[in-house]
Structure 1
Amino acid sequence: MIENILKYYGLAIEDCTVKAFGSGLINHTWLIGAGEKSYILQRINHNVFKQPELIDENINALGHYLSKHYPAYLFTLPVQTVEHNTLIQHEDDYYRLFEFVKDSTTYDVVEYPELAYEAARQFAKFTKLLANFPANELKITLPDFHNLSLRYKQFRLAIENASKERLEKSKALIAALKSHVNIVYSYEELLQNPAFKVRVTHHDTKISNVLFNKQNEGICVIDLDTVMPGYFISDVGDMMRTYLTAAGEEETDLSKVFVRDAYFEAIVRGYLDEMSNELSADEIKMFVYAGKFMVYMQALRFLTDYLNNDIYYGAKYELHNFNRAANQLTLLESLLSKEQTLQKKVYELMGKQPIV
């Protein structure tokens, strides 16, 4: 199969080395060695991304804009085939090839605060450089990806249709998630507030989507499949969800799930170093809300899937999604307990007084 894909790029399998690469769960990725050059080959998950050609259109549009206005910025455009295409459809699958960025590395875990700072700065820089790009011209590659109102409706529907056993098991989690429905109401108010700007937003800001150099300085962001029009709360919120606690979402010892203040400060410093002049006063006021938004949404999604018999995420064991929902709810409660202190830190780092 790989042999046939490489032919599109004028590469012969006998002249290449091929090995599985990375820890991504959505797309299948290989590292291709071809003489002195190395490439990343990806098969796009067509079950998740129903229209891969929309991803390709977005990436090429952004690449064209950045090469024209910010030619020094490293943007990972797909390699063209011999027929000048950047997306291949082979049989029922879709593929693209990228040049491997020399001397770059990625991380799966945020090992210390400065990594969080560098990652936040790179995601913010990406959005800032594209501030004048017409975000609403981007194609929607994952409809309703961060639509919290929809996720809450799906949660309520799952409660209505769940088995008695799973409903009884989830009683306490359901009550806790319902008690935080104000997070949904705040989201719906935000959508009506013109002070919240629609921007080019990455939507998947985990640490593994940043390339670092040998000095652990951020180089650029990668994995642009989810780049769509959106709000800053999606990117900042996903960083908070995945950087703030040392315990990942699979951790079942909930005593290990809590917000680390130093990592919060690193996210704020990194993001605001690039975006402080881009964000409105109303957006700054909702900086901590971004974390609440994303953590709450993920808790809803995990419990919804558990109530629906694990039809979306699947489950490695019976209580897998139940436990992940409990994990995210614990992180949300830790964030809520520190909300005022953390929001004051945002204003402190900006050198501004809190807005009442």
Structure 2
Amino acid sequence: MPELETVATKFQLSAPFSSVRQFGAGHINDTYLVILRSDARVVLQRINRDVFPGAWDVAANVALVVAHLEAAGGGVPGLIRTLENEPAWRDAEGRVWRMFDYIEDARTLQQVETADQAREAGRAFGDFQRRLGDFPRAKLYPAIPHFHDIGWCFMKFSSAATGDLTSISDDLAFVAERRHFADRRLTADDIVIHGDCKINNVLFDAEQDHVVAVIDLDTVMVGDRLWDFGDLVRSAAASGTEDAPTIDVSLSLFRAIAEGFLDGSGWKPDAMERDAMVRAPRVMALMLGVRFLTDYLVGNQYFKVDDPEHNLRRARAQFRLVSALERNGVAMTRIITELAG
């Protein structure tokens, strides 16, 4: 791999390179913070080709989305182009690198702390969908085919679930009892969505609970709008992290996310769509749990892990969250009816 300084200097820097360090806590791409001699900072990232085989096309997707959103008011980090004015740079080994503006006076959250934060995140992702409403979807390269296709996830899981599975027999039974989740769509119409609506994919103002940017645009895709909503509830309304030994769902945070999402998107769901808003977090939590368990079974090839059992712990946490969402289904239905009925 080339020296990071060499990579950084392939881009249109506003000042000479000074230093670089690892940055962020993402599962997928390798991210670095580059400090320039002017003390300005930029973000350098190497796209994970194991996750995104079409890494160059993903970088091109992001460039199109950033340009569209900048014309519609911003709210995403600016893209810094290469010296050749390309959206990314490819090294001699074929690795794809891109660079973004660093947003000063901002912070990420790994877990929601207040209802105001949850409401702001919901509003930001809803507004993201609204502002991409006129994006030319035919230009989008499918970054990860079948990414939120739960039927496909079940198929990949079945292929991986071979050999002695005694140690995960309870997990297998849990998944088998919920295979019907793949039988129904959430909503009838596809739109352009973010595709990875976790709480750490929005930047908050450093001192106020106000979202200043939506980040991590690699998974922008055509899909069900409730994939975004469900994934945000899954990540932000849960009482613990993705691998927590105990986990529950906060109804107050669920209400705040739903309120913000509906406000930001301007979407008016009908009765069937309101029911789908309750189902969506269960579908997304189960699907992620199945993906974690599949990755565990194939030797942790996709997600970064701390140890060989990490993906198994992640899967079981998501399955516990599915159960919590099921227990709270009636209360969640009441909340959605109050907000959108």
Q: What is the TM-score with the length of structure 1 in the denominator?
A: 0.87
* Residue 345 (str. 1) matches residue 321 (str. 2): no
Q: For residues 146 and 125 of structure 1, what CA distance do their matches in structure 2 show?
A: 21
Give the letter for the 2:163 counterpart.
S
Correspondence for 2:191 among 191, 199, 210:
199
Is contact 2:122–2:264 with CA below 8 Å preserved after alignment?
no
Q: What whole-Å deviation, never above 9, does each CA across 1:101-149 have from its counterpart, x for those lacking one? A: 2222222222222211111111111101111223343111111111101
* Residue 242 (str. 1) matches residue 235 (str. 2): yes
* 2:163 aligned partner: 163
Is contact 1:106–1:211 with CA below 8 Å preserved after alignment?
yes
Is contact 2:194–2:217 with CA below 8 Å preserved after alignment?
yes
Q: For residues 195 and 12 of structure 2, what CA distance do their matches in structure 1 show?
A: 34
CA shift in 2, pair 1:341/1:209, >3 Å:
same
* 1:173 aligned partner: 171
Is contact 1:3–1:12 with CA below 8 Å preserved after alignment?
no
Give 1:206 deviation, angstroms. Answer: 1.2
Give the letter for the 2:335 counterpart.
K
CA shift in 2, pair 1:277/1:251, >3 Å:
closer
Q: For residues 75 and 310 of structure 1, what CA distance do their matches in structure 2 show?
A: 31
Give 1:316 deviation, angstroms. Answer: 4.5
* 2:226 aligned partner: 233
* 1:52 aligned partner: 55
Is contact 2:128–2:265 with CA below 8 Å preserved after alignment?
no
* 1:336 aligned partner: 326
* 2:217 aligned partner: 224
Q: For residues 146 and 171 of structure 2, what CA distance do their matches in structure 1 show?
A: 24
Give 1:318 deviation, angstroms. Answer: 5.3
* 2:316 aligned partner: 326
Is contact 1:88–1:95 with CA below 8 Å preserved after alignment?
yes
Q: For residues 39 and 306 of structure 1, what CA distance do their matches in structure 2 show?
A: 34
Give 1:295 deviation, angstroms. Answer: 0.7
Residue 107 of structure 2: SS of its match in structure 1?
coil
Give 1:247 deviation, angstroms. Answer: 1.5
Unaligned runs of 5+ in 1: none
* 1:209 aligned partner: 201
Unaligned runs of 5+ in 2: none
Q: What whole-Å deviation, never above 9, does each CA across 1:88-112 have from its counterpart, x for those lacking one? A: 0122221111111222222222222
CA shift in 2, pair 1:99/1:127, >3 Å:
same
Q: For residues 76 and 137 of structure 1, what CA distance do their matches in structure 2 show?
A: 21
Q: How does 1:248-259 map to 2 (within 5 A)?
A: 248-252=241-245, 256-259=246-249
The alignment of Structure 1 onto Structure 2 pairs a total of residues equal to: 336
Is contact 1:234–1:294 with CA below 8 Å preserved after alignment?
yes
* 1:268 aligned partner: 258
Correspondence for 1:154 among 151, 156, 161:
156
* 1:39 aligned partner: 42
* 2:292 aligned partner: 302
Q: For residues 333 and 310 of structure 2, what CA distance do their matches in structure 1 show?
A: 33
Judge which range, 7-16 or 136-145, deviates more. 7-16
Q: For residues 88 and 337 of structure 1, what CA distance do their matches in structure 2 show?
A: 49
CA shift in 2, pair 1:196/1:2, >3 Å:
same
Q: For residues 92 and 15 of structure 2, what CA distance do their matches in structure 1 show?
A: 19
CA shift in 2, pair 1:309/1:29, >3 Å:
closer
Once superposed, what is the RMSD of the aligned Cα atoms?
2.2
Which structure has the greater CA radius of gyration? 1
* Residue 127 (str. 1) matches residue 125 (str. 2): no
Is contact 1:63–1:75 with CA below 8 Å preserved after alignment?
yes
Give 1:276 deviation, angstroms. Answer: 4.1
Correspondence for 2:272 among 276, 282, 286:
282
* 2:79 aligned partner: 78
Q: How does 1:77-96 map to 2 (within 5 A)?
A: 77-92=78-93, 93-96=95-98
Give the letter for the 2:87 counterpart.
T
* Residue 26 (str. 1) matches residue 16 (str. 2): no
Q: What is the TM-score with the length of structure 2 in the denominator?
A: 0.90
Residue 267 of structure 2: SS of its match in structure 1?
coil
Residue 65 of structure 1: SS of its match in structure 2?
helix
Give the letter for the 1:61 counterpart.
L
Is contact 2:66–2:79 with CA below 8 Å preserved after alignment?
no
CA shift in 2, pair 1:54/1:283, >3 Å:
farther
Q: What whole-Å deviation, never above 9, does each CA across 1:223-260 have from its counterpart, x for those lacking one? A: 101111111122111112211222212223xxx31111
